[in-house]
A and B are shown apart, each in its own frame.
Chain A
Amino acid sequence: MRLAQICGTVVATEKSPGLKGCPLLVVDMLDFQLKPNGERLIVIDRIGVGPGEKVILSMGREATLGMDRPFVPADGSVVGIYQGGQYMGDGL
């Protein structure tokens, strides 16, 4: 799981049936000092977040575990909203 910030949405009318009803979000990946590291991904929204929020992403096949439909073709999803935390960082 990693941290990211919401910076946009994607609208797609023609898509795989498993993605119907899944909001698609554009996110900037963040490092753990909350700075963007340049990577941008599209992920699905499982919580309901707004623009500019910092979120927790789950990546890979496990990103769609526990969804109410049998198969969602996505490899990243928003699973939590970031509140705060500690980071030792360069003091290691």
Chain B
Amino acid sequence: MIIAKVVGNVTTTHRISQMGGKKLLTVRPVDLDGKGDKAKEFLVADIVGAGIGETVLIVSEGGVATELLEDKNWPTQHIIVAIVDKINRFKWVPRKKGPFKK
């Protein structure tokens, strides 16, 4: 799964019938500092009700996406599965001794 920021949304006049009425959100994959590349933005269907400016978790597996959407033939590779509240970062400190204490 990847972390992404919602940067916009898209409305459509026509869609194929397999795409239900789900909102399409524009997302930008970001790193843990919140910085991302504009050129890598894409559209994704929203099932959690995320708004612009929120950080979300995205699954990039098409089989998972079609399982969660009401139609098994929704033509998408990605889907939003969660809204991120907080990311805790741990600082890794190397051990001085080996794994097995004598």
Contact = CB atoms under 8 A, between A and B. Distances in A.
Label chain B's interface by main secondary structure.
mixed
Contact of A84 (B11, B14, B39): B11
A58 B76 CA distance: 6
A37 B12 contact: no
A47 interface: yes
Given A56-B10, A81-B13, A87-B26, A3 B18 contact: no
Contacts of A61: 62, 77
Contacts of B77: 58-62
A22 B12 CA distance: 22
A60 B10 CA distance: 20
Contacts, number: 105
A65 B16 CA distance: 11
Contacts of A79: 15-16, 19, 75
A66 B9 contact: no
Interface residues of B, number: 35
Given A32-B26, A58-B75, A92-B5, A65 B12 contact: no
A36 to B, nearest CB: 12
Interface string B64-80: 01100001111111100
Given A1-B44, A59-B77, A66 B71 contact: yes
A89 B38 CA distance: 8
Interface in A28-47: 31-32, 37, 46-47
B43 interface: yes
A77 B12 CA distance: 15
Interface of A: 1-3, 31-32, 37, 46-47, 56, 58-66, 77, 79-89, 92
The 10 residue pairs across chains A and B that have the minimum distance between CB atoms: A66-B73, A87-B8, A1-B43, A66-B18, A58-B75, A85-B10, A80-B12, A62-B62, A80-B15, A65-B73
